[in-house]
């Protein structure tokens, strides 16, 4: 007969697979990446963490995703979602949140994004996430994680590079 621990591990692996399906091929373009489920025996909690190395010549590792499983209260706490620079503007963050929610919600778990910075918190509220505190939001079925709300991807005609030397030359010409 399956135990609650077995059930929890199946659920944790389902969340891991949902994140992997979205992120694995993208992170594989970077020098190094790792998906890891960590278990903390004293607390009975598990944590999913995804890390990557953005540049081959740098030892710095980036924490891409951190999700803590609170099985007793049927909650997931997402405390970090930070896409590597090379993968920005692909909506991977929102799509990852959505994929995790789509596993959590049918299983009866609530998904909370915790320790959010004010700008991210505000953008999530515009997407109909539910405010819990000034740095925690709850993702609900009404939360729009698909549309361009608040942070549309710029297209090439909107993005123009500037050289400080060109700007200084223009200032000198105007003087």
144: closest CA among 160, 128, 157, 161?
128
pLDDT over 90 at 116, yes or no: yes
Cβ burial, residue 67 (10 Å; 0-12/13-18/19+): buried
Predicted confidence band of residue 156 (pLDDT cuts 50, 70, 90): very low
| Spans of all domains in the chain | 4-174
Q: Is the pLDDT of residue 104 over 80?
A: yes
Given a cut of 80, whether residue 164 has pLDDT beyond it is no
For residue 161, pLDDT beyond 80: no
* Three-class DSSP labels, 107-152: HCCEEEECCCCHHHHHHHHHCCCEEEECCEEEECCCCCCCCCCCCC
Query: Computed over its alpha carbons, how large is the radius of gyration of the chain?
Result: 20
pLDDT tens track for 68-98? 999 999 999 999 898 887 777 778 889 999 9
Tokens 């596993």 — which residue? 103
């Amino acid at each position: 007969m399956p135990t609650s621990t077995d059930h929890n591990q199946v659920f944790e692996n389902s969340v891991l697979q949902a994140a992997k399906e979205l992120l694995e091929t993208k992170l594989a373009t970077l020098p190094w990446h790792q998906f890891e489920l960590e278990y903390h025996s004293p607390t009975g909690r598990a944590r999913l963490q995804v890390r990557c190395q953005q540049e081959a010549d740098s030892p710095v590792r980036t924490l891409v995703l951190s999700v803590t499983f609170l099985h007793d209260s049927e909650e997931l706490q997402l405390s970090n979602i930070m896409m590597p620079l090379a993968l920005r503007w692909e909506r991977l963050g929102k799509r990852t949140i959505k994929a995790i929610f789509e596993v959590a919600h049918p299983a009866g778990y609530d998904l909370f994004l915790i320790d959010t910075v004010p700008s991210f918190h505000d953008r999530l509220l515009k997407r109909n996430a539910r405010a819990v505190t000034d740095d925690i939001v709850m993702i609900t079925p009404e939360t729009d994680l698909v549309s361009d709300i608040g942070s549309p991807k710029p297209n090439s005609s909107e993005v123009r590079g500037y050289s400080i030397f060109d700007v200084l030359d223009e200032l000198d010409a105007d003087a």
